[in-house]
Structure 1
Amino acid sequence: MKIIVDAMGGDNAPQAIVEGALNAARELNVEVTLVGRTEAVLKAMEAAGVKDLPANVEIQNATEVVEIADDPAMAFKRKKDSSLTVGLTMLKEGKGDAFVSAGSTGALLSAATLVTKRIRGIRRAAMAPRVPCLGGSFVLCDCGANAECTPEYLLQFAYLGSFYAQRVMGIERPRVALLNIGAEEEKGDTLRHETYQVLKAAGDAGRIHFTGNIEANDAMMGGADVVVADGYSGNILLKAAEGCAKFLTRELKQVFLSSAKSKVAALLVKNDLDAFKKTMDPSEVGGTPFLGISKPVIKAHGSSDARAIYNAVRQARDFAASGFIAAIEENIENMKVTAPAENP
């Protein structure tokens, strides 16, 4: 298994990227190709205490870097020798099994769509992060790639999320729910009404396990394994969850530091607090997969440290080995919405 890593993408590149990738190559039984400016990559390796290139690590030189200020839609075209463009081209040509980048989300999505291409029949690629919830996590599909959607897009997101939860996360029969302002069937706008019917039809046919509408609070309480949303509402859910996690973490810290007695209590529950913090830490997941792209692409957080990159490589390895893309290709005919026949 070979994972291609954009060594120049992200706030902490190349140092954190290189360190995380080297750790992954050492511990995860994968080969790694670091794409970026060779001199900068070698310096980062030396700073990490690695003087000789490991046998399962190689460097692919790329002289340009896609910056956060670059136009996301055009950056990969204008900078043809960027680590992003070179890495995705290698993926397209079969020189690796998956691609990981902590660079610009917009540029990565545009490049993955136009260079690596979508799976034939998939209308839009979706970003599908794992969101922590009571009892584990759920797949949110989509979380921002597609602000405006059709019922067919959302039907495909349901399949993409369901197959990902099943094949990558190991959930045998993922519960799929539609994000809405109420649980009742009649709730929501026209898009939600029409999407509900196509998801219900897919559920009745036994193709997905559709459980109906779900409100954001019930999603956070573990009410579904896959939450289907247009990118606009999905992004609001994701950002609200992230904000609540930060708020709770800071408030708990203030509570436990407020007095000598509470500081003693903090010591007694330190392990439990560390475990709670770990469940809310995106670095432990690794990144967000772009579902619907014809090859596995993982978007790591822009501020990823070495631990996050390590986990992103692990996630990319599991994604590539899951058979997810083949499963989507085999079921693409079930993901189309056909117009109802007109009455004669």
Structure 2
Amino acid sequence: MTTKTDLSRPVIALDAMGGDVGPEVVVAGAELARERYPNLRFRIYGQEDAVRPVLARSPRVAAEAEIVHVDGVVLGTDKPAQAIRRARSTSMGLAIEAVKAGEAHAAVSAGNTGALMAMAKLALRTMEGIDRPALVALMPTMKSDSVVLDLGANTDCDAENLVQFAVMGAAFARTVLGLERPKVAFLNIGEEDMKGTEEIREAANLLRTAAVDLPLEFLGNVEGNGIAQGNTDVIVTDGFSGNIALKTAEGTAKLVTGLLANAYRNSWFTKLGYLFSRPALRALRDQLDPNNHNGAVFLGLNGVVVKSHGGANIKGFANAIGVAHDLVTQDIHARIHSDMENFAAHRTPSASGPSDSGKAA
């Protein structure tokens, strides 16, 4: 069923037991994904007595799927170290192992983020030229989606890490958003070049020197209040700041929708106004719905691993599978490898040494 080189018919390993979704949403999401991408095939990892009845109701998936029975499940409460010790007896661990073994081109799971990241990093290792993987996802803006990384994989980063994130993020934007030269900026406390930490300033100098030979446009810095404007395609930061930015954006979206809902319940006049504004509100809700932007990726590993929201619905899980499909069929790793080689070849000798400041042990 599988071949590591046949990218035209990618095999996606699905963790059927991860997160809040369970086999019902995983299989239905795979069904919807196959409507969009008829070339997809699946290896579904989970408890067979829970998966097979659900799969019987999705004949198009069943025709292109193989169930791999496994009893173990990674719980949301499991610590990464606990999950790693049980990796080869869990649906999450075996889905990642399938990517390592060449039995699948990508793995998708809605399970425990910390466990998934730890297992993926241990099993797949980082690509040549990449020191650390970064967690990347799409964030809605006033114009279109923007790519944001790192979202929590690395709380402390040096200049070299940030530049690598920028190169990987630009490759991700070209692959998923179809941009030829994504606009890249570092998240900072000001747009001026002298603002921010030593690591950000050094990373900006490194990237500015090499950007002319890379398929990206380097803008410099963007402040937190500029993320939502959509003028930047790729926003790069360390995992500490990136995770705060992501959670703040998610909380703000819930605040806005909650305040609007309360406002329209205030009186008969506001309820009447709701009837007229319902199409616009529905469009706003769809734009802010995390299911429409589902599918975070651990970039920089020797394999594609996609993290779905734990509570994703069918459309959300299908979108996560779609991200995996795009990264595989457009060979994201070849793009990253080529861009990193270009960066290494064109950086100036004076900027060739990595910074020691901010480097995590």
Q: CA deviation at 1:78?
A: 2.5
Q: Which residue of 2 aligns with 1:61?
A: 69
Shift of 1:314: 1.4
**Per-residue deviation, 1:194:** 1.5
Larger displacement relative to structure 2 (49-58 or 94-103): 49-58
On the 8 A contact 1:12/1:305 being kept in 2, the answer is yes
Secondary structure at 2:88 match in 1: coil
Superposed displacement of residue 74, structure 1: 4.1
Q: Deviations over 1:97-116 (max 9, x none)?
A: 21100011111111111112
Separation of aligned partners in 2, 1:51 and 1:297 = 26
User: What does 1:18-29 align with in structure 2 at a 5 Å threshold?
Assistant: 18-29=27-38
219-228 or 25-34, which moves further after superposition?
Answer: 25-34
Q: CA deviation at 1:323?
A: 2.1
Alignment map for 1:194-273 (pairs within 5 Å): 194-206=202-214, 208-273=216-281
Aligned partners of 1:87 and 1:99 also within 8 Å? yes
RMSD (Å), alpha carbons: 1.9
Greater share of residues in helix: 2
Deviation, 1:289, is 1.3
> Deviation at 1:317?
0.8
Amino acid at match of 2:242: G
1:25 Cα shift? Answer: 3.2
The secondary structure found in structure 1 opposite 2:89 is coil
**SS of residue matched to 1:212:** strand
TM-score (norm 2): 0.88
For residues 333-344 of structure 1, the aligned pairs below 5 Å read 333-335=341-343, 338-339=352-353
Distance change in 2, residues 1:332/1:247 (3 Å):
same
- What corresponds to 1:40 in structure 2? 50
Query: SS at the partner of 1:251?
Result: helix
The answer to whether the Cα contact below 8 Å between 1:155 and 1:335 also exists between their aligned partners in 2 is no
Match of 2:192 among 153, 160, 184: 184
Whichever residue aligns with residue 184 of structure 2, its letter is V
Could you list the runs of 5+ residues in structure 2 that have no partner in the other structure? 1-9, 345-350, 355-361
Equivalent in 301, 313, 334 of residue 305 of structure 1: 313
Is the Cα–Cα contact under 8 Å of residues 214 and 342 in structure 2 kept in the other structure?
no
State the shift of 1:310 in Å: 1.3
TM-fit CA distance, 1:324: 1.4
8 A contact 1:6–1:83 mirrored in 2: yes
Distance (Å, rounded) in 2 between the aligned partners of 1:76 and 1:308: 27
Q: By how many angstroms is 1:148 displaced? A: 0.4
Query: Residues 53, 225 of structure 1: CA spacing in aligned structure 2 closer, same or farther, 3 A cutoff?
Result: closer
Deviations 1:2-57 (A, max 9, x none): 211100101121322222223323553111221111111124346xx448972112
Q: Partners in 2 of 1:176 and 1:167 — Cα distance?
A: 15
**Structure 2: distance between partners of 1:121 and 1:320:** 20
Q: Among residues 3, 13, 28, which one is paired with 2:12 in the alignment?
A: 3
CA distance in 2, matches of 1:339, 1:73: 33
Q: Is the 8 A contact 1:14 1:44 kept in 2?
A: yes
Pair 1:162 & 2:173 matched: no
1:271-329 CA-to-partner distances (Å, cap 9, x unmatched) read 22111111111111221011111222110011112221111111211111122111112
2:22 maps to what in 1? 13
| Cα distance change on mapping 1:171 and 1:53 into 2, 3 Å | closer
Question: Which whole-Å CA distance do the structure 2 matches of 1:253 and 1:106 have between them?
Answer: 34
Question: Counterparts of 1:73 and 1:202 in 2: how far apart (Å)?
Answer: 39
**Residue 207 to residue 42, structure 1, CA distance change in 2 (3 Å):** closer
**Code of the aligned partner of 1:39:** D
Distance in 2 of aligned mates of 1:51 and 1:228:
42
The one-character-per-residue Cα deviations of 1:128-158 (angstroms, maximum 9, x if unpaired) are: 1101111111100111110000100000000
**In 2: Cα distance, 1:43 partner to 1:277 partner:** 33
The residue type equivalent to 2:85 in the other structure is K
Q: 1:163 to 1:50 in 2, by over 3 A?
A: closer
Amino acid at match of 2:74: V
- The letter of the residue matching 1:14 is P
Aligned length: 338
TM-score by length of 1: 0.93
SS at match of 1:279: helix
CA distance in 2, matches of 1:190, 1:301: 34
Three-state SS of the structure 1 residue aligned to 2:14 is: strand
Please tell me the residue identity of whatever aligns with 1:188. G
Unaligned runs of 5+ in 1: none
AA of the residue aligned to 1:2: V
Please tell me the residue identity of whatever aligns with 1:260: W
